A and B are shown apart, each in its own frame.
Chain A
Amino acid sequence: MTASKPLLDVRGLSIRVAGAARPLVDDVSFSLDAGETLCIVGESGCGKSLTALALMGLLEGTPLRIDGGTAEFQETDLLSAPQATLRALRGDRIAMIFQEPMTSLNPALKIGDQIAEAVCEHRDVSREAGRARALEMLKRVRIPAAESRLDEYPYQLSGGMRQRVMIAMALANDPALLIADEPTTALDVTIQAQILDLMRNLGRETGAAQIMITHDLGVVAEMADKVAVMYAGRIVEAGTVTQIFDDPQHPYTLGLMSSMPSLAGRSERLVTIPGTVPSPLDMPVGCRFAPRCPFADAACEAPPQLVDLEAGHRVACWHAPIEQAEPTPAWRETA
């Protein structure tokens, strides 16, 4: 742990649909140092994208409300700052890449203009300078024949190329933090590797910290310094990438790990986690993973807190460390 202030410090973030009884994102806390990459992992609907949108101040105009918490980023609380302040930060200090490159670019505007626009909005520069920066960024994201691409429209580019344009746009103002929401999910596998490679290299070059949201543990292993595992709106385990992969402590993390195919254990059948994610309308009061957990017992009816197992490794489970826990007999039979 560094003694200096983290770049981003999120504490107790909760998000709920206006008027709903239970929050969709519940008491989420994590921090991120400059230049670090944090991966937030979880199944769809676990609240990871909502967390990202909340940090960007992009929940405005949706029925979702930030219900509590703070997110300190360079002396600003992203959760309570007025929209004008957030707008000045967005696209400048904090940038975001989305999942769908096919629909995330404006179909009616040339890509050079879409990148230059982000530059001109935040920097006091001429249109020519903005265009020059756009060209430079297209070259940095390794788009071939960048010069001629400036005046092309999104439909003339493939999905992978469009995602490169999104990355170029996001990094155009040298942000301190880049949030990427499943940036490779919609792409072909070979393109995925290229995009991840590009993001890792650019992260290193620019020193931008990254929050990468994904459901893909392969991406996590590739990119992460730190990992936060989310389940049904809560962080259930967080730690360094080594801690999470070598010593997973939450039963859900264990389940995720064993549901990943590996080349070494080819003969074994893939393990799935039984049951489904609880609906936000019907959340268990205690541990939200309990209904699907092989270790669940009476203790799990109270909500577990995230506790430090070792430096930086936090787990929200009554049975941690898991080595000492026994699967319950009833679960063994049904599984």
Chain B
Amino acid sequence: MLAFLARRVFIAIPTVILISLFVFSLQHLLPGDPILVMAGEERDPEVIAALREKYRLNDPIPVQYLAWAGNALQGDLGISLRTQQPVLELIAEKLPVTIQLAVMALAIAILIGIPAGVLSAYKKGTWIDWVANITALSGLSVPNFWLGIMLILLVSVKLGWLPASGYMPLSEDPLQSIRTMLMPAFVLGTAIAATLMRHTRSAMLSVLKSDYVRTARAKGLRESVVLIKHALRNALVPVVTVITLLFGELLAGAVLTEQIFTIPGFGKLVVDAVFNRDYAVVQAIVLCTGIAFILMNILADAAYRVLNPRMSEQ
């Protein structure tokens, strides 16, 4: 397994380089000039020239790339043009928030989506299947911002059970931190749960028809064992792919949900950076998201090998 992971990480290096090239060229393809934003209303040519010199924007582009990539490798992702903070610091500040939100949303999605998918496949064509499918369809159709606002109205304003907004770091007050994250995680989780439910259902339907499930029944195993140990384990292989991809998306930040619940996560950072043409930050975020996706893919492959022993041989 370790050798496999090492090989996968090695193979990922060219992909990371490609992403970095893309990320770097992005700023030259985008319209707008950050220096003009920084220089303020007066647009003093001398100030502009000095700023260009300071940020090495006069160098040839390949030189700019090498300088940027070399610094990035050393953990120096530049300085935010807007806040003058090191980008790494900004990201280190937001990343735990987004990871916590993503993990909680995914946990909620898995807890709802997979059992619902198993149940609706097992009870295919019955009212249970119908209810699960209609709920899933609504979960996919309801916009996150609407669900978020409605939840705030109901759970926070009317019932007063959970705080409507704000953020508490996990390290300071774990319980309060989970409480503040619960609603946004639920909003994000339900939409994902619907996707997971659909995938689990269709994978289970085909597995339940297989010969080895019939063998398991012929052994006299309880239905719960047949369903979970024999069927679900095999049905999970395609679902795991979906889970990792969805997790990658969650890590990229959920702009609307973060906005509604005023969570200082990645999504807000991205939006602010884009509007202010804060290139260093945009680049760093896209790079981080790309690497997160690569890591998720490696994780998915590792999970396959656990679920499907045949793959671990190759």
Is A100 on the interface with B (CB-CB < 8 A)? yes
Q: B221 contacts the other chain (Cβ, under 8 Å)?
A: yes
Contact B212 A105 (CB under 8 A): yes
Name the residue among A61, A87, A106, A109 with the largest chain B CB count within 10 angstroms: A106
Distance, CA A88 to CA B221, complexed state (A) = 8
In the assembled complex, the CB of A211 is this many whole angstroms from the nearest CB of chain B, namely 14
Taking a contact as CB atoms under 8 Å apart, the answer to whether B310 and A96 are in contact is no
Question: Are B233 and A108 touching (Cβ within 8 A)?
Answer: yes
Q: Establish whether residues B220 and A104, one from each chain, have CB atoms under 8 Å apart when the complex forms.
A: no
B-contacting residues, A84-139, CB 8 Å: 87-92, 95-96, 98, 100, 103-110, 117-118, 121-122
In whole angstroms, what is the CA distance A166 to B218 when docked? 11
B230 and chain A: residue at smallest CB distance? A106
Shortest Cβ distance from residue A323 to the other chain B in the assembled complex, whole angstroms = 43
Pick the residue among B208, B211, B217 that contacts A103 (CB under 8 A): B211
Q: Is B158 located at the chain interface by the 8 A CB criterion?
A: no
Interchain residue pairs with CB less than 8 A apart (16): A88-B220, A91-B219, A91-B220, A95-B219, A98-B218, A103-B211, A107-B310, A108-B234, A108-B307, A118-B221, A122-B220, A153-B309, A153-B310, A155-B309, A155-B313, A156-B313
Q: What's the interface size class on A, roughly?
A: 20 to 34
Residue B43, interface by CB 8 Å:
no
Using known A-B contacts A117-B221, A121-B221, determine if residue A106 contacts B216 with beta carbons closer than 8 Å.
yes
Pick the 9 closest A-B CB pairs, nearest first: A91-B220, A90-B220, A91-B219, A103-B211, A106-B212, A118-B219, A153-B309, A104-B211, A96-B218
Interface flag for B259 (CB, 8 Å): no
The smallest beta-carbon distance between B204 and chain A, in angstroms, is 13
Asked if B218 contacts A103 (CB within 8 A), the reply is no
B138 near A: Cβ within 8 Å? no
Asked whether, in the complex, the Cβ of A107 is within 8 Å of the Cβ of B308, the reply is: yes
For the complex, give the distance between the alpha carbons of A91 and B308 in Å: 26
A58 at interface (Cβ–Cβ under 8 A)? yes
Q: Beyond A87-B220, A118-B220, A121-B220, is A106–B309 a contact (Cβ under 8 Å)? A: no
Cβ < 8 Å to A, chain B residues 232-286: 233-234
Within residues 160 to 219 of chain A, which ones have a CB less than 8 A from any CB in chain B?
166, 169
